[in-house]
Structure 1
Amino acid sequence: MRPHGSSLDLGLIGNCSISALIDAQARIVWYCLPRFDGDPVFHALLADPPSWPANGSWTIEIEDFERSEQSYDEGTAILRTRLIGRNGDAIEVVDFAPRFFSRNRPFRPAVLIRRVHPVRGHPRIRISMRPMADWGRVVPQITRGGHHLRYCGPAGTLRLTTDAPITYIEAEIWFSLGGPLNMLLGPDETVERGVAEVAREFEEQTAHYWRSWTRALALPLEWQAAVIRAAITLKMCLFEETGAIVAAMTTSIPEAPDSQRNWDYRYCWLRDAFFVVRALNSLSEVGTMEDYLRWLHNVVREAAGGHIQPLYGIGLEKTLPEVQLDHLRGYRGMGPVRVGNQAQEHFQHDVYGNVILGAAQSFHDRRLFRRADAGDFALLEAVGERAWATHDQPDAGMWELRTRARVHTSSALMSWAACDRLAKIAVALALPERALLWRARADTIRERVLREAWSERRQAFAESLGGNDLDASVLLMAEVGFIDPRDPRFIATVDALEASLCDGPYMRRYEAADDFGKPETAFNICAFWRIDALVRIGRREQARAIFEAMLAVRNPLGLLSEDTDPRSGELWGNFPQTYSMVGVINAAVRLSAPWDSVI
């Protein structure tokens, strides 16, 4: 079981414009501005603070704290934390980022709202507001007004508007909480109405938005709460202004203790975004896909038939230079802290398949406000030409190996998927000559992969053409329709992967050492790929057991990071990881009993 009190016992709040991470004691420990990939106003998650309150956090404490309880309001992104003192006094902190429709468009301001209520007794509290700038190197200058504090840093000014005593907040003084209080942290703008009125109205409208959004999901019969939480989390990873979907909200949470495997995931990987879109589509939530396709269209147009990076900034930035911040100790003191990601320089040839897979539904789905057309197909054909040209060329692979290039099976597989989907799109558009061309290319790639990726020595499909090492990514062969899952070669591959890569329900990415040695922790999405494969080959009960085990290692709020320690069940890696939350949805949809079994 995962140990109680893990540092990734965090809740995510957000509104598709900003997001924040809040720990089990209602401390905001991560919050970036002006976007998910910006400078953290609150960075305590990476500062390894020795005591609280800490710089780079927003803390609300109850005197003589004993324990806490935390949960989301059902079907929403509104988080409630109850802090209970040793004498029985209790308070409740309500955290959210406003999101609702106003004047027929989404209202998602860069504002965090915190509401504090006395619940029992005569609690005394302390509010410590310690924003920082320039990754914790600059302490903002504080000025005060009648009902606000202003925090002025080199990149701008934040304003905390509140009906709490300003003096107590500024001096971090303990005081008695005689009634509800409200705090709005946002741009340096005047709040025109009373802060309590605004906070109450925004909470009500935000709750209504999320419950209406959840109500429209086509849920499986079983595991509905887990699916809803995963879906809301994925939605919050959408930067709606541009349509980009980040892989995670954090940087530099190590994949394993003291491993140096610390990366910045606050960018849009085309691979991860495709899987997010596909998972939400399976719940009949197509709005995220429509937003993402806006972003993807810009990527494809800019590439003009040339190289496409595996990731971009959420504002379409191509250059994301990777730098190391040595003044921060890092998560639990396990640096380094890195900003930017060198992987934007990589050649990862699976990206072309992921682009086309991400866009394919838009040619077939009549629900969309704008269905793709022949002009869009012409743009995607240019991407397909790149897939065809690179399908047999060495690359860094989907695991972004920095010092080793091979013809990776997963990259060739996605090149096949690109050609296969283009053939199907051409049929839908009544373009028979193009359909024949892309079908012939798909068949050529498929025949070569089946022949050269198969390892007689391992009796399994290997991680590279002509190779012998095993890699969990070959499980995607069944998921993207490349092979009949009942094919004896695929079944043998599942057996071989279970023998070599699995620790009980957990699954590692690959067996060969990489730039940092052999992986120590299990990669959560691989366990979900395994579940999918087991269901497809008829081992449903085994798949259900693994799924229940993976649900058990989620944090208390139902969220997953990238990796799990197979010995302790502790979560590691960037958080919350979209790949992992995608796995929850996919497994539940595939494993659930049908609705007509109960109605």
Structure 2
Amino acid sequence: MGGTDGDRGAAGDHPAAEGHEAAAQHGGGRDGGPGTGDGHGTGDGPRGGAGRRYVPIADHGLIGDLRTAALVAIDGTIDWYCSPSFDAPSVFAAVLDADRGGCFELAAAVPARTKQFYFPDTNVLITRFYTADGVGEVQDFMPVSEDPAETGRHRLIRRVLCVRGTVPFRVRVAPRFDYGTRPHTVRRAGDVTVFESERLSLGLTSTVPVTPDGDDVRARFDLTEGATAVLALDHLAEGVTPRGCARDEAENAFATTVRYWRRWLSSSRYRGRWREMVHRSALTLKLLTYAPTGAIVAAPTTSLPEEIGGERNWDYRYVWVRDAAFCVYALLRLGFTQEAEAFMGFVFRHVSPGDGDPTGPLQIMYGIDGRTDLSETELGHLEGHLASAPVRVGNAAAEQLQLDIYGALIDSIYLYDKWAEPVSSDQWDHVCALVEWVGGHWDQPDEGIWETRGGRRKFLYSRLMCWVAIERAIRMAHRRGLPADLPRWQACRDTIYRRIMSHGWSEQRGAFVQHEDGDVLDAAVLMMPLTKFMAPTDPKWLRTLDSLTEDLVSDSLVYRYDPGVSPDGLRGGEGTFSICSFWYVEALTRAGRLDEASLAFEKMLTYANHLGLYAEQIGHGGEQQGNFPQAFTHLSLISAAFNLDRALG
């Protein structure tokens, strides 16, 4: 899903591009958990030299402070960072343009192997450098402060340690403000180096000397065993003054950040077979939340390609109602009710029919602050990851009609009401308004879940989720004794059910199909048993599952549909869609095909990166494609693991 076509993608992983060998060797424990990424760099110059202008997208980790996030490559370079929020203009964007994007390099200054892992049960990222004379590591994190006086401070800390022998390090801090379009100056202010542009300033503090180099600063230093160095980058704004970051302060911030993440994760109720992967997915979803409003972004990046060299590049740094609602389901399953409560606050503040006009449809996505104007533009000066243009900011899919979001939203409200807190009377009135709109408009053609540009159709999935919207509201009314026009709602629900059964089934294919009176298969129908629309062992459903397996499944990986027979209005192809692959696991599980489900799930775990992170799609060679990491994929992993665990007993 995602851009103007909705294919929200995941980062492009292309081992052969630019002569670059795959830098990550993926390992794992017996429970399918992530291993440590193993990379190789020469230590000579940017990206380790050897013509490596881009690191594969999967060779990154994510850090964040619940307001913004950064991608740290396996060679120690911060390739992506927006300040002060997810959807702010980038400061470092080398992942989209190696020359103009800007980056923060920190690596061994001699040839080194690198490995990357998360400090256990946290979002603190550690990159290790193995050299001939010693071993060093960089601990990257953003402090998460619950002190109201600190909410305006956004700090990125890079703590460097030598753990064995002696290791020389090199540093280059090269910000390029506003996606590389705004010039900046470099000046000293006491012990702080200030990078100052028209709209944004950053302050760099360092325990090692740094030297100006044009618009950048550089440093080289040696550490012996037990020695440390600290570099900290602060967002400077009104009321937020530059502040040093001594070794003791960095050590305290490290300990505080570790405690925060471990305390948060301790609320998880999951004790199943795939605890490491499920908890990494939960930590990733938490990183994608915007604490000030409760918003949940689809991904922290923009324009990472779904196909190297292709045009399917979209901006995912926004709140898709569908994605965020599914996230609420996944987090509630694990026991994280505060995140659900925060998102419900966002929903009832900002997501309303017609955005104030009760006669209009919901907008499918919003800014993290609830804004509705997400106008899409192209940044022609950036070449795109591995020359995959265009680079886009904003997302024109916000203007599409997608009827399925009503089902996702009301289902999340139903689950919140059931597992967390009862909805208020005002909130119930809001739900009733949504149901009334669905009742009058469910039969329209729309762009559908995949946000196609091939024209509006009467998609089965859209009708399925309209059925979910009304059915869940009826359940809430019955369980709570809430006022509702139940006879009319039930009649509408049943009409949608019969319409799907009569017009969504193809006798020729022996399966439920993508849109009414057609014969094209679509992996979105995997949600039919998952939403309890029909029994997972219904003969019609089992025939559909067999047809999907034959036509859209490749070694457990699932394509959304075949664009050759269902044109989506875009050039090029795409990889398999990871959320569909986890839906497939869950459908097999519910159908009682546990051996098949277990094997498919274990295979999917091998496609995670070295840290257990996923993009949206997987390419033909197993590379990750599109924006990274992707909320959709991680929430579906949680759901599949939870239900497969329960079925296996």
Is it true that 1:96 corresponds to 2:136 in the alignment?
no
**Matching residue of 1:147:** 191
Q: Matches of 1:529 and 1:230 in 2, distance apart?
A: 16
Is it true that 1:568 corresponds to 2:621 in the alignment?
yes
Q: Measure how far apart 1:323 and its partner are.
A: 1.1
CA contact (8 A) 1:101 1:107 kept: yes
**Matching residue of 1:295:** 346
Correspondences of 1:66-145 after superposition (within 5 Å): 66-85=112-131, 87-102=132-147, 109-145=153-189
Q: Matches of 1:300 and 1:107 in 2, distance apart?
A: 25
Match of 2:530 among 460, 479, 498: 479
| Structure 1 residues 415-454: Cα deviation after superposition (integer angstroms, max 9, x where no partner) | 1011001111111231465333322221111111111100
Q: Per the alignment, do residues 117 and 139 of structure 1 end up closer, same or farther by CA in structure 2, a change over 3 Å counting?
A: farther
Is it true that 1:551 corresponds to 2:605 in the alignment?
yes
| Structure 1 residues 457-512: Cα deviation after superposition (integer angstroms, max 9, x where no partner) | 11111111222111000111111111111111111111111111111111110122
RMSD (Å), alpha carbons: 2.1
Is it true that 1:47 corresponds to 2:97 in the alignment?
yes
Q: Measure how far apart 1:162 and its partner are.
A: 2.2
Q: Measure how far apart 1:138 and its partner are.
A: 2.6
**Matching residue of 2:257:** 206
| Structure 1 residues 252-295: Cα deviation after superposition (integer angstroms, max 9, x where no partner) | 11112222111111111011111111111111111111111111
Q: Per the alignment, do residues 277 and 108 of structure 1 end up closer, same or farther by CA in structure 2, a change over 3 Å counting?
A: farther
Correspondences of 1:397-546 after superposition (within 5 Å): 397-431=448-482, 434-511=485-562, 512-517=566-571, 519-546=573-600
Aligned amino acid, residue 165 of structure 1? P
Is it true that 1:307 corresponds to 2:356 in the alignment?
no
**Matching residue of 1:162:** 206
Q: Matches of 2:458 and 2:70 in 1, distance apart?
A: 39
Q: Which runs of 5+ in 1 are unaligned?
A: none
CA contact (8 A) 1:222 1:593 kept: no
**Matching residue of 1:317:** 371
Q: Matches of 1:33 and 1:168 in 2, distance apart?
A: 22
Q: Per the alignment, do residues 235 and 168 of structure 1 end up closer, same or farther by CA in structure 2, a change over 3 Å counting?
A: same
**Matching residue of 1:395:** 446
Q: Measure how far apart 1:168 and its partner are.
A: 7.5
Aligned amino acid, residue 331 of structure 1? H
Q: Matches of 2:415 and 2:153 in 1, distance apart?
A: 31
TM-score, normalised to structure 1, is 0.94
**Matching residue of 2:7:** none
Q: Per the alignment, do residues 510 and 201 of structure 1 end up closer, same or farther by CA in structure 2, a change over 3 Å counting?
A: same
Q: Matches of 1:191 and 1:117 in 2, distance apart?
A: 24
| Structure 1 residues 505-544: Cα deviation after superposition (integer angstroms, max 9, x where no partner) | 1111012232125743101111011111101111111111
Q: Per the alignment, do residues 95 and 173 of structure 1 end up closer, same or farther by CA in structure 2, a change over 3 Å counting?
A: closer
CA contact (8 A) 1:254 1:260 kept: yes
**Matching residue of 2:633:** 580
Q: Per the alignment, do residues 217 and 10 of structure 1 end up closer, same or farther by CA in structure 2, a change over 3 Å counting?
A: same
Q: Matches of 1:192 and 1:291 in 2, distance apart?
A: 31
Equivalent residue of 2:299, what SS?
A: coil
Aligned amino acid, residue 343 of structure 2? Y
* Larger mean Cα displacement after TM superposition, 180-189 or 266-275: 180-189
Q: Per the alignment, do residues 194 and 265 of structure 1 end up closer, same or farther by CA in structure 2, a change over 3 Å counting?
A: closer
| Structure 1 residues 305-351: Cα deviation after superposition (integer angstroms, max 9, x where no partner) | 22211111111121111111111110112111111111011011112
Q: Matches of 1:16 and 1:91 in 2, distance apart?
A: 28
**Matching residue of 1:26:** 76
CA contact (8 A) 1:304 1:382 kept: no
Greater RCO, CA 8 A, separation 6+: 2
CA contact (8 A) 2:184 2:195 kept: yes
Q: Measure how far apart 1:101 and its partner are.
A: 3.7
**Matching residue of 2:6:** none
Equivalent residue of 1:22, what SS?
A: strand
**Matching residue of 1:181:** 229
Q: Which runs of 5+ in 2 are unaligned?
A: 1-12, 16-21, 24-55
Q: Measure how far apart 1:177 and its partner are.
A: 2.8
Q: Per the alignment, do residues 328 and 391 of structure 1 end up closer, same or farther by CA in structure 2, a change over 3 Å counting?
A: same
**Matching residue of 2:109:** 63
* Larger mean Cα displacement after TM superposition, 219-228 or 3-12: 3-12
Is it true that 1:37 corresponds to 2:37 in the alignment?
no
Q: Per the alignment, do residues 148 and 240 of structure 1 end up closer, same or farther by CA in structure 2, a change over 3 Å counting?
A: same
Q: Matches of 1:106 and 1:235 in 2, distance apart?
A: 20
Q: Matches of 2:484 and 2:172 in 1, distance apart?
A: 67
Equivalent residue of 1:592, what SS?
A: helix
Equivalent residue of 2:177, what SS?
A: coil
CA contact (8 A) 1:184 1:195 kept: no
Aligned amino acid, residue 107 of structure 2? E
Q: Matches of 2:209 and 2:175 in 1, distance apart?
A: 18
Aligned amino acid, residue 547 of structure 1? F
Q: Matches of 2:157 and 2:572 in 1, distance apart?
A: 43
CA contact (8 A) 2:232 2:245 kept: no
Is it true that 1:355 corresponds to 2:409 in the alignment?
yes
CA contact (8 A) 1:220 1:592 kept: no
* Larger mean Cα displacement after TM superposition, 299-308 or 531-540: 299-308
| Structure 1 residues 130-149: Cα deviation after superposition (integer angstroms, max 9, x where no partner) | 01112112342111133211
Equivalent residue of 1:174, what SS?
A: strand
Aligned amino acid, residue 256 of structure 1? E
Q: Report the number of matched residues.
A: 586
Q: Per the alignment, do residues 290 and 404 of structure 1 end up closer, same or farther by CA in structure 2, a change over 3 Å counting?
A: same
Q: Matches of 2:534 and 2:330 in 1, distance apart?
A: 21
* Larger mean Cα displacement after TM superposition, 113-122 or 21-30: 113-122
* Larger mean Cα displacement after TM superposition, 166-175 or 315-324: 166-175
Q: Matches of 2:181 and 2:571 in 1, distance apart?
A: 33
Match of 2:330 among 264, 279, 282: 279
* Larger mean Cα displacement after TM superposition, 257-266 or 294-303: 294-303
Q: Matches of 2:245 and 2:376 in 1, distance apart?
A: 44
